């Protein structure tokens, strides 16, 4: 069963409204998707600039550019902004653009709420950014905001930070509800669950994760709020609470959160690799089950972030085993991608370059994740740059490359123009080299014993830090090129056909490029 579109009779509904109200009042999934993507890129630059401050300070031993206090604020805000401002909204933006087109729907299921989900984000980040100018400075306790550093010892702005997190949470939950309702209720006739494109599947599961864990994050920041302002003792041993309780609740959110940041990328890559291999995805069903398995396991591994806090050994072992198990379904995905490429007819346009780099570098990040999962070894790795290397490998060439790959893949569809392939390839290669230069040496630093979240370091870490900083500057500067490519593509370029990629499949390619304002006015039928 599906739908045809209906709008208020008498109003002009054939195209977007004019002026600023188009964006403020819009209920259109494409407009909202665009706003999400633009916002996310702005946040990427903002959070990235903070990473540049971090890398500049760490360029050499000694304190030269910023005060340690400000350094901590940079680390914290960098982590928060990248996670909540850059990666998550980028995926929601992709979902907004693509889901209705992929399932054959006119729009998202709850269009007004969709608009609200978006506009809450700038509101939340405005509040978060304003803490930088408050007395006592911005949050300085790491993006994981462990109590009691963030409660009893936090700056006054912590209360504002808490409400900003609340608003982000509301935004994410509503966004996720919208995604689920769209997928479950607006699929074209004939599109059974097991015929859904993988991007849709991964987003369905991501949305489930979001609804399950964002409220827990809201819960833990509420506990902080109460401890700070109303004398409760959740995280204070002298009242019978426990600082470690904070970590349990936080990581119950936090670990599924990292999969929220990667699953949609898995989905997108599962479209891109078959398209440029001109060969169907090797194992559709096992891909779906693998994502499901990863999502379920992600609820029972949280304490692998807490191996050193002193949990009883039975717990330690349980969380170690459960964490290690995640390698199995993730492996299934990696093997599937490789098997899809095997004996295909491969070409390497920008989306494919990013997708292949994604598979390789994400896997390296996954390997270091597996090493971290070995509890005794984590006693050495924990809170060192080895961890920083791990998560940047899964996040930068993982999440971020996944987003770049998707953006190049779908840009012709969105804008109706082909992007500049030469520039895009340049963007890829500079990013690839810069990113590896920046983050690979961090493995060595961590193993050699450099703790994370420090503004200054002992002399034996000097050389690799300098290499890392150079790589980071290179990677950062390269991202301005991406901005240029996208702007160029929006403003003109070779006309894109409905299906610009030879091997691509899916309903979105049956629509013209750019697609009509309301995607499918009459639902297509899927055989």
Partner 1 sequence: MGVHAMRAGVLAGGLLLPAWSMADWTLNMTPGVTGTSNEIFSLHMTILWICVAIGVVVFGVMFWSILAHRKSEGHKPAHFHENTAVEVAWTIIPFVILVIMAIPATATLVDMYDTEESDIDIKITGYQWKWRYDYINDDFGFFSNMATSQDEIYNRAAKSEHYLLDVDNPLVIPVGKKVRFLVTANDVIHSWWVPAFGVKKDAIPGFINETWTRVDEPGIYRGQCTELCGRDHGFMPVVVKAVPQAEYDAWVQDQLAAAELERQLTEKEWTLEELLERGERVYATACAACHQANGAGIPPTFPALKGNPVVTEDLPAHLDIVVNGVSGTAMQAFGPQLSEADLAAVITYERNAWGNNTGEMITPKQVFDYKNQQ
Partner 2 sequence: MATDHTYTHEKYAYQKYYVPEQSKWPIIATVGLGLTLFGVASIMVNSSQGESTGGSWLLFLVGSLIMAYMLFGWFGNVIRESRAGLYSPQMDRSFRWGMSWFIFSEVMFFAAFFGALFYARVFAVPWLGGEGDRGSSNLLWEGFQATWPLINTPDPVAYPPAKEVIGPWGLPLVNTILLVTSSLTVTIAHHALKAGHRGKLKFWLAATIALALGFVVVQAYEYVHAYKDLNLTLESGIYGTTFFMLTGFHGAHVILGTLMLIIMLVRVMKGHFTAEQHFGFEAASWYWHFVDVVWLMLFTFVYIL
Label residues 440-477 b or e (16+ Cβ within 10 Å = b): bbbbbbbeeebbbbbbebeeebeebbbbbbbbbbbbbe
**Catalytic-labelled residue, pool 40, 330, 363, 406:** 330
Give catalytic status of residue 242 as yes or no.
no
Contact window for partner 2 (CB under 8 A) among 10-18, 410-418, 437-445, 476-484: 10-18
Contact of residue 65 among ligand HEA, Cu ion, partner 1, none (CB under 5-8 Å per partner type): none
Find which of Cu ion, ligand HEA, partner 1, none residue 52 binds, CB within 5 to 8 Å per kind.
ligand HEA
| Contact residues for 154 (Cβ-Cβ < 8 A; gap 6+) | 139, 140, 141, 145, 228
Would residue 343 show up in a list of annotated catalytic residues for this protein? Answer: no
Instruction: Identify the burial level of 144 via C-beta atoms within 10 angstroms of its C-beta, where 0-12 means exposed, 13-18 middle and 19 or more buried.
Output: middle
Find the distance separating the first CA and the last CA of the chain, reported in whole Å.
Answer: 14
Report the residue from 163, 318, 335, 444 that binds partner 2 according to the rule CB under 8 A.
163
Give CA torsion, residues 291, 294, 297, 298, to 10 deg.
-110
Q: Comparing C-alpha atoms, which of 177, 408, 391, 400 is closest to residue 271?
A: 408
Active-site residue identified among 166, 305, 392, 413: 305
Print the binding letters for residues 240-269 with Cu ion: x by CB under 5 A, - otherwise. Answer: ---------------x--------------
C-alpha span between 194 and 210 (Å, rounded): 22
- DSSP single-letter state for residue 152: T
**Annotated catalytic residue 330:** yes
Residue 19 sits in the site that holds partner 2 (CB under 8 A) = no
Q: How far is the CB of 485 from partner 2 (least distance, A)?
A: 31
Active site residue 153: no
Q: Which does 323 bind (CB under 5 to 8 A by kind): ligand HEA, Cu ion, partner 2, none?
A: ligand HEA
**How many CB atoms are located within 10 Å of the residue 509 CB?**
18
Rule CB under 6 A: choose which of 3, 35, 43, 51 binds ligand HEA.
51
Spatial CB neighbours of 28, under 8 Å, sequence gap ≥ 6: 16, 107, 111, 517, 518
Active site residue 257: yes
Q: Beta-carbon neighbour count of residue 286 at 10 Å?
A: 16
* By CB under 6 A, residue 30 contacts ligand HEA: no
Active-site entry in 29, 271, 279, 304: 304
Q: Is 203 exposed, middle or buried (CB count within 10 Å of its CB: 0-12, 13-18, 19+)?
A: buried
Selected catalytic residue, list 13, 425, 452, 453: 452
Among residues 142, 219, 292, 449, which is the contact residue for ligand HEA, using CB under 6 A?
Answer: 142
Binding to partner 2, residues 300-359 (CB under 8 A): 310, 312-313
- Is residue 251 part of the annotated active site? The answer reads no
Strand ranges for 387-523 from DSSP E: none
Q: Single out the segment in contact with ligand HEA by CB under 6 A; choices: 25-33, 163-171, 372-380, 402-410.
A: 372-380
Enclosing H/E stretch for 405 = helix 401-415
Cβ neighbourhood burial of 244 (10 Å; 0-12, 13-18, 19+) = middle
Residue the block writes with tokens 């055989």? 527
Whether 119 is a known active-site residue: answer no
Segment 225-244, which members bind partner 2 (CB under 8 A)? Answer: 225-226, 228-234, 236-242, 244
Q: What angle do CA 527, 29, 213 make, to 5 degrees?
A: 90
Counting residues that bind Cu ion (by CB under 5 A) gives 1
Which residue is it, tokens 């209705």? Answer: 100
Please state the closest distance from residue 320 (CB atom) to partner 1, in A. 7
User: Does residue 516 interact with partner 2 by CB under 8 A?
Assistant: no
Query: How far, CA to CA in Å, does 488 sit from each of 408, 431, 452, 493?
Result: 13, 19, 39, 7
Question: Judged by CB under 6 A, which of 70, 116, 119, 143 binds ligand HEA?
Answer: 143
The contact pattern for partner 2, residues 116-155, with x = CB under 8 A and - = no contact, is x--xx--x--xx----------------------------
Catalytic one among 29, 30, 78, 271?
A: 78
> Quick one: which of 30, 55, 166, 413 contacts partner 2 (CB under 8 A)?
166
Residue span binding ligand HEA (CB under 6 A) among the ranges 130-138, 364-372, 415-423, 503-511: 364-372
* 96 in Cβ contact with 203 (< 8 Å): no
- 271 part of the interface to ligand HEA, by CB under 6 A: no
Judged by CB, which is closer to partner 2: 6, or 459?
A: 6
**CA-based R_g, the chain, Å:** 23
Q: Is 382 in the site for Cu ion (CB under 5 A)?
A: no
Cα–Cα distance measured from residue 313 to residue 232, given in angstroms and rounded to the nearest whole number = 30
Is 452 considered catalytic here?
Answer: yes
| In the complex, least distance from residue 366 CB atom to ligand HEA, rounded to whole angstroms | 2
Q: How far is it, in rounded angstroms, from Cα 59 to Cα 125? A: 29
Whose structure tokens read 């396991």?
A: 297
- For residue 390, state whether it binds Cu ion (rule: CB under 5 A): no
Active site residue 69: no
- Pick the closer one to partner 1 by CB: 211 or 327: 327
Site for ligand HEA contains 217 (CB under 6 A) = no
* Contacts to partner 2 from residues 69-108, by CB under 8 A: 105-107
Is the Cβ–Cβ distance between 362 and 393 less than 8 Å? Answer: yes
Residue 431 is among the residues annotated as catalytic for this protein: no
For 293, the enclosing helix (H) or strand (E) is helix 284-297
Q: Name the active-site residue from 76, 172, 513, 519.
A: 172
Q: Provide, rounded to whole angstroms, the least separation between the CB of residue 17 and ligand HEA.
A: 32
Q: Mark whether 505 is an active-site residue.
A: no
**Rounded-to-integer distance, Cα 261 and Cα 504, Å:** 24
The neighbour count for residue 322, using CB atoms within 10 Å, is: 18
78 binds ligand HEA (CB under 6 A): yes
> What are the beta bridge partners of residue 495?
417
Any idea which residues carry the catalytic annotation? 78, 107, 143, 171-172, 255, 257, 259, 270, 304-305, 330, 333, 452
Binding site for Cu ion (CB under 5 A): 255
């Amino acid at each position: 069963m599906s739908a045809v579109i209906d709008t208020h009779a008498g109003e002009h509904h054939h195209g977007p409204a004019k002026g600023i109200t188009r964006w403020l009042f819009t209920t259109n999934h494409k407009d909202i998707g665009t706003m999400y993507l633009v916002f996310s890129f702005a946040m990427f630059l903002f959070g990235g600039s903070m990473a540049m401050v971090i890398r500049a300070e760490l360029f050499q031993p000694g304190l030269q550019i910023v005060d340690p206090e400000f350094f901590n604020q940079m680390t914290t805000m960098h982590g928060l902004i990248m996670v909540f401002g850059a990666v998550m909204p980028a995926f929601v933006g992709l979902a907004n653009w693509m889901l209705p087109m992929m399932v054959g729907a006119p729009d998202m299921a709850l269009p007004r709420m969709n608009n609200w989900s978006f506009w809450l984000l700038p509101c939340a980040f405005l509040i978060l950014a304003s803490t930088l100018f408050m007395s006592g400075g911005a949050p300085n306790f790491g993006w994981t905001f462990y109590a009691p550093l963030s409660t009893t010892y936090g700056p006054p702005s912590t209360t504002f930070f808490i409400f900003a997190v609340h608003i982000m949470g509301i935004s994410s939950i509503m966004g996720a509800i919208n995604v689920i309702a769209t997928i479950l209720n607006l699929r074209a006739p004939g599109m059974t669950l097991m015929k859904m494109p993988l991007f849709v599947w991964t987003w369905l599961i991501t949305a489930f994760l979001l609804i399950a864990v964002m409220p827990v994050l809201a819960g833990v920041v509420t506990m902080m709020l109460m401890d700070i302002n109303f004398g409760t003792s959740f995280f204070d041993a002298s009242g019978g609470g426990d600082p470690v309780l904070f970590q349990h609740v936080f990581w119950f959110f936090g670990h599924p959160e990292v999969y929220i940041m990667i699953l949609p990328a898995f989905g997108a890559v599962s479209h891109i690799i078959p398209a440029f291999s001109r060969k169907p995805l090797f194992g559709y069903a096992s891909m779906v089950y693998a994502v499901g398995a990863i999502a379920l396991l992600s609820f029972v591994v949280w304490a692998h972030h807490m191996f050193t806090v002193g949990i009883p050994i039975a717990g330690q072992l349980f969380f170690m085993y459960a964490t290690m198990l995640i390698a199995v379904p993730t492996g299934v995905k990696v093997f599937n991608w490789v098997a899809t490429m095997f004996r295909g007819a491969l070409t390497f346009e920008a989306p494919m370059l990013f997708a292949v780099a994604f598979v390789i570098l994400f896997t390296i990040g996954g390997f270091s994740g597996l090493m971290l999962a070995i509890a005794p070894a984590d006693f050495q790795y924990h809170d060192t740059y080895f961890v920083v290397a791990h998560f940047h490998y899964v996040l930068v060439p993982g999440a971020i490359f996944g987003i770049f790959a998707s953006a190049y893949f779908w840009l012709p569809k969105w804008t109706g123009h082909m992007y500049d392939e030469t520039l895009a390839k340049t963007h890829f290669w500079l990013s690839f080299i810069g990113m590896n230069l920046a983050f690979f040496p961090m493995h060595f630093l961590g193993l050699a014993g450099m703790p994370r979240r420090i503004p200054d370091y002992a002399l034996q870490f000097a050389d690799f830090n300098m290499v890392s900083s150079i790589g980071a500057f290179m990677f950062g500067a390269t991202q301005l090129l991406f901005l240029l490519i996208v702007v160029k593509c929006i403003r003109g370029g070779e006309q894109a056909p409905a299906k610009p990629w030879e091997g691509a499949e899916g309903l979105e390619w049956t629509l013209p490029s750019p697609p009509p304002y309301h995607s499918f006015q009459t639902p297509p039928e899927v055989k």
